[in-house]
């Protein structure tokens, strides 16, 4: 049982100007919510003529309560699959995500190559001291000598 609050009354004329089948409703906390609805949240409902309606809960990034504001219209614009600008934005976001993933993979591959190169060098190359002082394992020097 969706209710129409004063906030809904403010937004619905604008929503219906965008699409006459759109409506903002609030589903009360104390009423069990049907599929697609979340109790205690606002929802954008599209009443599709001759077909089941569609529902989009208006929630924040964590799924919590979100008061309707002007970002609602930006959300609708971004969700509009007939809007060429929205489609360009969506393609741009998807391409930048692919580019970031490819760059991350390249960096990981370079890091692996560097580590492998260092391991191979450590296992196969011999280091020789270029000074007169003989190299010793620790500060005590050769076996049996005490540090001064």
21 domain residue, yes or no: yes
Residues 123-147 have pLDDT tens digits of 888 766 677 776 666 655 555 555 5
Residues 45-91 have pLDDT tens digits of 888 888 888 888 888 888 888 888 888 877 777 666 566 776 777 78
Helices 84-124 and 71-79 meet at what angle, rounded to 10?
A: 80
Query: How many angstroms separate the CA atoms of 100 and 69, rounded?
Result: 32
- Residue listed under structure tokens 């004063």: 6
pLDDT of residue 104: 93
pLDDT of residue 72: 80
pLDDT of residue 48: 85
Residues 15-38 have pLDDT tens digits of 888 888 889 999 988 887 778 888
119 and 100 inside one domain:
yes
112 and 50 inside one domain:
no
90 and 40 inside one domain:
no
Give the count of alpha carbons within 13 A of 124, CB side only: 6
28 and 74 inside one domain:
yes
94 domain residue, yes or no: yes
The strand order across the sheet containing 41-46 reads 22-27, 41-46, 54-58
Query: How many angstroms separate the CA atoms of 38 and 26, rounded?
Result: 9
133 domain residue, yes or no: no
- Domain span at residue 71 reads 6-79
Question: Domain tally for the chain?
Answer: 2
pLDDT of residue 65: 85
Instruction: Write out the two tokens for 49.
Output: 């003529």
37 and 102 inside one domain:
no
10 and 74 inside one domain:
yes
pTM: 0.51
At a CB cut-off of 8 Å and minimum separation 6, what does 65 contact? 40, 41, 59
């Amino acid at each position: 049982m969706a209710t129409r609050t004063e906030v809904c009354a403010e937004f619905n004329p604008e929503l219906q100007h965008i699409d006459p089948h759109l409506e903002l409703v609030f589903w009360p906390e104390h009423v069990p919510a049907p599929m697609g609805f979340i109790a205690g949240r606002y929802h954008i409902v599209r009443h599709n003529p001759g077909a089941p309606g569609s529902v989009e809960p208006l929630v924040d990034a964590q799924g919590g309560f979100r008061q309707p504001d002007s970002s609602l219209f930006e959300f609708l614009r971004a969700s509009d699959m007939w809007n060429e600008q929205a489609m360009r934005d969506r393609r741009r976001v998807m391409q930048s995500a692919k580019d970031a993933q490819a760059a991350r993979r390249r960096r990981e591959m370079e890091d692996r190559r560097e580590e492998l190169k260092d391991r191979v060098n450590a296992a196969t190359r011999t280091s020789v001291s270029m000074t007169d002082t003989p190299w010793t394992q620790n500060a005590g020097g050769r076996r049996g000598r005490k540090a001064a």
